[in-house]
């Protein structure tokens, strides 16, 4: 997973406002919504043994181990528009999304892609 400069800047700014007790923004996926899955984002004070950590420009994103195959190759962006702002995931594993944009259909990345990254 990578972050755009805008996403890294926003994560870093929020982390700074939360103080030293925050280890990073933890990202995962869960079943839910009309398309089948939803992204989850929570602030965490620790990094668990099997978590993946992405650090960029002072921002730290922690990937839940159960979400790694669903987030492989994903770019996290932050967009600020006229009526809304928020994080956006450009995920090559996304097959479809619901009309409201709250949930997505994801397929896990192939084992070959994972092995290529570790190799």
More confident residue, 103 or 37: 37
- Please check the confidence at residue 35 and state whether its pLDDT lies above 80: no
> Domain spans of the chain?
2-118
Specify the CATH architecture of the domain 2-118.
Sandwich (2.60)
Q: What is the pLDDT of residue 98?
A: 64
* Nearest one of 33, 40, 43, 35 to 11, comparing CA atoms: 43
Dump pLDDT digits (tens) for 11-34. Answer: 999 999 998 889 999 999 888 776
60-110: pLDDT as tens digits: 999 999 999 888 999 999 998 888 888 988 988 777 666 555 666 666 777
For the entire predicted model, the pTM comes to 0.79
Residue 37, judged by CB atoms within 10 A of its CB (0-12, 13-18, 19+), counts as: buried
């Amino acid at each position: 997973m990578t972050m755009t400069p805008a996403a890294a800047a926003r994560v870093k700014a929020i982390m700074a406002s939360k103080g030293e007790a925050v280890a990073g923004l933890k990202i995962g996926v869960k079943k839910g919504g009309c398309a089948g899955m939803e992204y989850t984002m929570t602030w965490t004070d620790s990094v668990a043994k099997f978590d993946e950590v992405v650090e960029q420009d002072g921002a730290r994103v922690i990937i839940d181990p159960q979400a790694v195959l669903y987030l492989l190759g994903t770019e996290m962006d932050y967009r600020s528009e006229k009526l809304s702002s928020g994080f956006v995931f450009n995920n090559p594993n996304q097959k479809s999304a619901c009309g409201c944009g709250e949930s997505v259909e994801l397929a896990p990345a192939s084992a070959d892609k994972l092995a290529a990254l570790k190799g």
